[in-house]
A and B are shown apart, each in its own frame.
Chain A
Amino acid sequence: MPPLIQIEHVRKIYNAHKPDEFCALDDISLQIEAGEVAVFKGPSGSGKTTLLSLIGCMSRPTEGRIRIGEKDVVKLSERFLARTRQQTFGFIFQQFNLLRDVSVLENVLMPLYPQQVPISAMKNRGLELLRQLDMENKQQAKIRQLSGGEQQRVAIARALINDPDIIIADEPTAHLDSQLSADLIEILTAIHQSGRTILIATHDPQLFNHPLISSVFSMHSGRLTEGC
């Protein structure tokens, strides 16, 4: 079985041919198997977030190939890139990126809005996820009324709503204390046990030393220094 994620000689250059040209990623090649939990570690500016955004079909590389399953995502138009992003990935952002004046349930259901899913099915799915994450009683609360840990759980529910194969988490424990971080790792373990692949960018040692992690990639200045 081919790897789920294959990256070959990927480069990402911002502001090409301009005075402020910047090479964020330089000749990255790696493979990740289905069901793995991979951690990308490195200091700020090492290119972890850029790499995750390329894998997650948020943007296209300047050079190189990225295959997700059997699909070469570099060759996709913006519209189909978005579709792949919608169907294959769930994102947990560093800043949670929830819509503040919108309720918990609506935030969770937001990825489903552009899809042809009946409203009742949408709601049932959302409520089920919130129940699993102990957030069902806060379904109508506005985001600004929640604590950091609660917002994190809403973000996770939103990431799972599309039933994606791959979860991408960018610095998921950055705004959490150690207890909440431990809770998060438990949730990630449960997600992994349901058969999903998880990619995490972090510089939290609690995470990259955890037995849940199957591979570690170290990055520095846009290059892989370990785990290629």
Chain B
Amino acid sequence: MHHFKILEYALSSLIRRKFKNLAIIIVYTFTVATLASILFLTHSLKKEAEYLLADAPELVVQRLSGGRHELIPLEYGETIRRIPGVAKVQPRLWGYYYDGLIDANYTLQEVLPGHSKLPMLQGRLPQNPGECAIGAGVAEVRRIGLEDDLIMVDSANVGRTFTVTGVFKAESALLTNDLVILEKQDLIDFFDYPADLATDIAVSVRNPVEINTIAEKIKRQLPDTRPISRSEILRTYAAVFNWRSGMMLSVFVAALVAFCILAWDKATGISAEEKREIGILKAIGWETSNILEVKFWEGIAVSLTALLLGLLTAYIHVFFLNATLLTPVIKGWSVLFPTFRLAPFIDPYQILVIAFLTVPPYVVSTVIPSWKAAITDPEAAMRG
């Protein structure tokens, strides 16, 4: 019962000093929003990567030479096909193309069966030489659409023209944004690939439990290859995102420390009016522990308000404004980045972590000033 009344008093006390408390809440909210944005974004990207990689092949086999990625002979695919447990082997042809005009990298890929599953905004996949399908990002930066021409300079420094027969929908942007799909022979001619080589080989495995075993067998039979499993890619993504978010968090520790100093300063600068009020309360019979309880509730109210507002702001920032302030750091090197909509992925663990990262520092900053206020001498009230 009395806790309820003391809580009520604490809230009315906060409202009576609204400007001072508003300043703290705004800065606190900003701090929470920054930390929350980082966590929401990285978590969402991790989940997005997991979701997308669900359809990726279980294994991708690359050939290494001197530690670097090299084209892989097609006959390696035959060797892999003979390994028990392998369901399907698909050599893949693709490469990167640097467009000097707009300083962007495209991924050029041959037409594969999987491409027909991706939603197209307009048109169709290339069926004839001299045709191409492009991602929404390519269409946007080159300002081209259906029936337009895409000119690229091949490995012999000759300009080649491809007619756009299809443009991918923005929803598939994470997979297709920088994609240019060409007919197989066009691709081979463009990069001047030898006929018996592929960029890598995608391997499907019947039993997911056997992936590592098969990867080991591939490695044993073809020692100059590197089989990469899907789960390895996911783990790497997760580790990189964790690392990146951890780095950003470390940087924002500086912001948190600055906030704590502000909180300490505000809490220590107890006004004469507030001191007078506490003196009166002590004089009429309130104990030090009651005043400490008032300060506790004030702290909780401020923390919870800032936490909620910060989470809301972060949610809007990340999922409605696409985390415009954070993406350059988190996402990486590519200039041509998809403006895809992140799907909201939030779980209670994240909220818990954000609370643990922001509330204890605030509590620590204000505990001593709160105590100093609470031990105000009631005798002072007698003297007025």
Contacts and interface: CB of A to CB of B under 8 A. Distances in A.
A–B contact with Cβ pairs below 8 Å: the answer is yes
Given A113-B2, A118-B1, A59 B379 contact: yes
A27 interface: no
Nearest to B380: A58
Interface stretch (A63-71, A87-95, A218-226): A87-95
B285 A85 contact: yes
B377 A114 contact: no
Given A82-B287, A97-B283, A110-B284, A49 B2 contact: no
Contacts of A91: 283-284, 382
B281 interface: yes
A93 B1 contact: no
A115 interface: yes
Interface string A90-113: 010111011101100000001111
B327 to A, nearest CB: 47
**Most A Cβ at <10 Å: residue of B2, B285, B288, B378:** B285
A116 interface: yes
B281 A110 contact: yes
A95 B280 CA distance: 11
A141 B133 CA distance: 75
Nearest to A100: B273
**Most A Cβ at <10 Å: residue of B12, B381, B382, B383:** B382
B382 A102 contact: no
A119 B287 contact: no
A111 B16 contact: no
Given A82-B287, A162-B285, A115 B2 contact: yes
A59 to B, nearest CB: 5
Contacts of B378: 53, 58-59, 85
B283 A58 contact: yes
A52 interface: yes
Nearest to B5: A113
Interface string A51-89: 011001011000000000000000000110011011101
Given A113-B2, A114-B2, A158 B284 contact: yes
Contact of A102 (B5, B12, B284, B288): B12
B382 A53 contact: yes
Given A82-B282, A82-B288, A91-B284, A52 B2 contact: no
Nearest to A57: B378
Contact of A111 (B6, B284, B382): B284
B290 interface: yes
Interface string B243-262: 00000000000000000000
Contacts of B148: none
Contacts of A56: 382
A1 interface: no
Contacts of A86: 284-286
Contacts of B276: 97
B63 to A, nearest CB: 77
A: contact size bracket: 35 or more
Interface string A200-220: 000000000000000000000
A219 B277 CA distance: 30
B284 A52 contact: no
B320 interface: no
A56 B383 CA distance: 13
Contacts, number: 88
Nearest to B16: A101
Given A49-B382, A58-B378, A101-B16, A83 B1 contact: no
A97 B285 contact: no
A82 B290 CA distance: 11
Interface in B283-331: 283-290
Contact of B283 (A79, A93, A114, A118): A93
Given A114-B6, A116-B1, A116-B2, A78 B287 contact: yes
A86 B281 CA distance: 10
A15 B349 CA distance: 53
B384 interface: yes
A60 B282 CA distance: 14
A58 B282 CA distance: 8
Nearest to A78: B288
B96 interface: no
Given A58-B378, A99-B280, A83 B383 contact: no
22 contacts: A53-B378, A58-B283, A58-B378, A79-B289, A82-B285, A83-B285, A83-B287, A85-B283, A86-B285, A87-B285, A89-B285, A95-B384, A97-B384, A99-B280, A110-B284, A111-B286, A113-B5, A114-B2, A114-B290, A115-B2, A117-B1, A118-B1
Interface of A: 49, 52-53, 56, 58-59, 78-79, 82-83, 85-87, 89, 91, 93-95, 97-99, 101-102, 110-119, 158, 162, 170
Q: In the A-B complex, list the 10 residue pairs whose CB atoms are closest, starting with the nearest.
A: A86-B285, A95-B384, A82-B287, A113-B5, A114-B290, A111-B284, A58-B379, A58-B378, A97-B280, A53-B382
Given A58-B379, A97-B283, 18 more contacts: A53-B378, A53-B379, A58-B282, A58-B377, A78-B287, A78-B288, A79-B289, A82-B282, A83-B287, A85-B285, A86-B286, A91-B382, A98-B280, A102-B12, A111-B285, A113-B286, A114-B6, A158-B284
